[in-house]
Amino acid sequence: MRIGFLGLGRMGSLMAHRLTDAGYDVTVWNRTPESARPLVAAGARAADTPRGAAADRDLVISMLAAPKAVDAVFFGPDGAADGLAPDTVVAEMSTIGPSEIHRMRDRLPISVRLIDAPVLGSLPQASAGELKIFAGGTGADVAACAEPLGRLGDLRHVGGLGEGAALKLAANLSFITATVAIGEAIRLAESHGLSTDTILDALSDSPAGALVTRMRDKITAETAPPTGFALGLAEKDLALAVAEGALEGGVVAAARDRLHSASTAGLADQDLSAVIGHLRGHPGGPR
């Protein structure tokens, strides 16, 4: 199968490497061409434009940061949509929400097949091929790309077009808002004189314990940990969730405000866990 891959950020580059290493004929494109060099060394080809990466491909995968990026890459000058052949499957794996997926469907040629297939997981899962992939679309269209997507993780056909994107937002907002809530819980307890270790021991035994345990090293780190899920992307996802129907004035909107404050303070590129330090009054890092 001939694959075009659009977007070589932290996640996308790992996913494209897995497909290249599996022996697929992969053409890649990224806004900054130097990101493609390791993939070219591994056997992929680099295209100068999104259109070039999509031309003569059986499957085109996009892994981009936000709806505006998807719009520009597919429908801007030399966009991928102009290079798509009839019957090409487009797997939109970015987190962009169901409304954008349906807008894509309306703008793509009718002969092009589209599924939404956003992923749950971070860099270790992308590297190991252990992502959870929530696919929305027809059964035939999902089946047409099941083999290569299966190299990236556990492919789950969850419903019709846009329903994978909706499920991904639901999954993300649950743990993003929980992360913000953990930060506020630690701040509250610390304001009454409790030590961080005492607080984390108690929270680890609470219903939120699995998340606290997973994040404990990041929470107690002296310096900012490596970025797994960028805080700025988490803010974007909560903004999408609000736009797609999360309650106005609800928990999601409040958590988004907290993330926006942290992002404005210069933490957008840091790991999501940086919001905990921000809430605790440690703007330079988690502690």
Instruction: List pLDDT tens digits, range 179-207.
Output: 999 999 999 999 999 999 999 999 999 99
Average pLDDT over residues 48-72: 96
Confidence of residue 282 (pLDDT cuts 50, 70, 90): confident
Give the mean pLDDT of 39-49: 97
Assess whether pLDDT exceeds 50 at residue 54: yes
SS3 of 61-116: the string is EECCCCHHHHHHHHHCCCCHHHHCCCCCEEEECCCCCHHHHHHHHHHCCCCCEEEE
What's the confidence (pLDDT) of residue 222?
Answer: 86
Which helix or strand (DSSP H or E) is residue 155 part of? strand 153-159
Whether residue 273 contacts residue 214, with contact meaning beta carbons closer than 8 Å, is answered with: no
Q: Is the pLDDT of residue 287 over 90?
A: no
The pTM score is: 0.92
* pLDDT over 70 at 27, yes or no: yes
What is the CATH architecture assignment of 167-279?
A: Orthogonal Bundle (1.10)
Helix axes 251-262, 231-243, angle to 10 degrees: 150
Q: Per CATH, which fold does 2-160 belong to?
A: Rossmann fold (3.40.50)
Report whether pLDDT(264) > 90: yes
| Domain ranges across the chain | 2-160, 167-279
